[in-house]
Structure 1
Amino acid sequence: MSATTRRPLALAAAVATAVALGATALATTAASNASAAEIPLSGYELTWGIKQSYRAYVTGMAAGTFTPADGATQAADNGAFTFTEGTGAYDSTSHTLALGFKGSLKIASTLHGFELALSDVRFDSRTAKITADVTKSGTTQDDVPLADVTVTREMTDMATRLTPEAATVLGSAGYSGAAGDPLTVVEKKTASPSPSASPSTSASATPSTSASPSPSASASTSASPSPSQSTSESASPSASPSGTSTAAPVSGDITDGTLGWGVKQSFRTYVVDGVAKGAITTSDGATQAAGNGVFTFADGSGTYDTDAETLSAAFAGAVNFKGHEDNGTYGLDLTLSDLRATIDNGTGELTADVESLGETSDGVVLADLTTDAADLTAVNDVITLSDVTAKLTAAGAKAFGDFYETGAELDPVDLSVAVAEGAELPGGDGGSDSTGGSSGSSGSTGGSSGTTGSTGSTTGGTGLTTDGVTGGLASTGAGVPVGALGTAAAVTVAAGAGVVLAVRRRRTDA
Structure 2
Amino acid sequence: MSSSHRRPLALAAAVATAAALGSTALVLPATAADGAPAGPVKIVGGTLDWGVLAGYRAYVTGMAKGTITVADGAKQNEDGSLRFGEPTGQYEPAAGHVVKAAFKGSVTFSSPAPPAGHGFEVKLSDFRIDTGTKKLTADVTKGSATTQDVPLAAVAFAGQSMDGLATTLTKEAGDALGSASYENKAGDPLTAKLEFEKPAPPSPSPTPTKSATPSPTPTKSATPSATPTAPADGPQKILSAKLTWGVKESFRKYVLGAGSITPAGGAAKNGDLFDFALGKGELDAKKQTLNASFEGSLRFQYAAHGIDMTFANPRVAAAGKTGTLYVDVKNASGSKADVPFATLDLSKTDYKSKDGVLALNAVAAAFTAEGAASFANDTTGSLYKAGDAVDPLTLSVAVDKGATLPTGGPTPNTGAAGGTGGTGAAAGTVGGNLASTGAELPAGALLATSGAAVAAGAGAVFLARRRRAVRI
- Superposition TM-score, scaled by structure 2 size: 0.43
Structure with a larger share of its residues in helix:
1
Q: Which has the higher contact order (CA 8 A, sep 6+)?
A: 2
- Superposition TM-score, scaled by structure 1 size: 0.40
Larger Rg: 2
